[in-house]
Amino acid sequence: MNVPTVQVIGIEKSYFRTRALDGVSFDAGAGITGLLGPNGAGKTTLLRMMATVLAPDAGDLRLLGWDPGKADERLAIRRRLGYMPQEPGFHRNFTAFEFVDYVAILKEMVERKARHDEVRRVLALVGLEGVIGRKIKALSGGMRRRVALAQALLGDPDLLVLDEPTAGLDPEQRLRFREIVSERSTDRTVILSTHQTEDVAALCPHVVVMDEGRVLFGGTPRELAEVARGRVWLAAERAPGAHLSWRTGDGDHRNIGQAPGGANLVEPTVEDGYLLLVGHRAFDEEAA
């Protein structure tokens, strides 16, 4: 890994008796790091800490070399941060332009012309130049997510924190999103959460798998797939010893678990590795 720009060291966080993060540690450098995990894994809690809006109960966090627990360093981080929350809120009576302009003002862009140019630039980046005068409440869910992404891109931030950025996007929009984010990831740090393994496989050179507030895996998508090597096989029926099994479009059953002798082993995917790690929780969620 290159020089870490994000350092997460033994982070803990509880909400009353529920432990959301239980000693989470990992490093991330320039490029895209994907946090993968089922709902309730603690991804959003961790990303909110990286966005400086939530403080950990214990542990250390370093963002771009600064400590978000100190007021002056937190301000320095916020000046270089772009954040897209999981459920971005909007002033619905604002137009797309006005909303992004509003966030630009919060980001200390006071000079009107330069600010408006920047607002137009980010709205064009996410392909919304045609609807900038339309009220937020009249936009589709996918368009609103793109407005939320546009505000995060304001000022070309060094650290981009995106919580479930591809949720609600259609395949074409998802491709466009990958293009936008990957273009920005060469010398900047992007941390995104998702439970879409294809996003991770397509975008992230580094992936962290979380479940129940703990890190289960950290490495490349290829290494995540390797976790399942020798443990994925196809069969005509659901194998009794398989942890997970589902019928594919070809009519075969794809089984994950301890393969029996003579099984028809297949090349594992990122999804296989992920499912093997998070087990039934993720499988149940995807089935739902």
Give residues in contact with other proteins (CB under 8 A). Answer: 15, 48, 51-55, 71, 74-75, 78-79, 81, 83, 85, 88-95, 97-98, 101-103, 105-108, 110, 112-113, 115-116, 120, 132-133, 151, 161
Instruction: Give me the residues paired with residue 33 across strands.
Output: 191, 206
| Residue placing its CB nearer to other proteins in the complex, 89 or 262 | 89
Q: CA nearest 184: which of 212, 165, 170?
A: 165
Q: CA nearest 28: which of 47, 12, 14, 41?
A: 47
Residue 252 corresponds to which tokens in the numbers above? 């075969």
| Residue placing its CB nearer to other proteins in the complex, 42 or 205 | 42
Instruction: Report, in Å, the least distance between residue 233 CB and other proteins.
Output: 45
| Residue placing its CB nearer to other proteins in the complex, 92 or 229 | 92
**DSSP 8-class letter at 187:** S
Instruction: Report, in Å, the least distance between residue 190 CB and other proteins.
Output: 15
| Residue placing its CB nearer to other proteins in the complex, 108 or 179 | 108
Instruction: Report, in Å, the least distance between residue 53 CB and other proteins.
Output: 5
Alpha carbon distance 116, 188 (integer Å):
24
SS3 55: coil
SS3 33: strand
Instruction: Report, in Å, the least distance between residue 102 CB and other proteins.
Output: 6
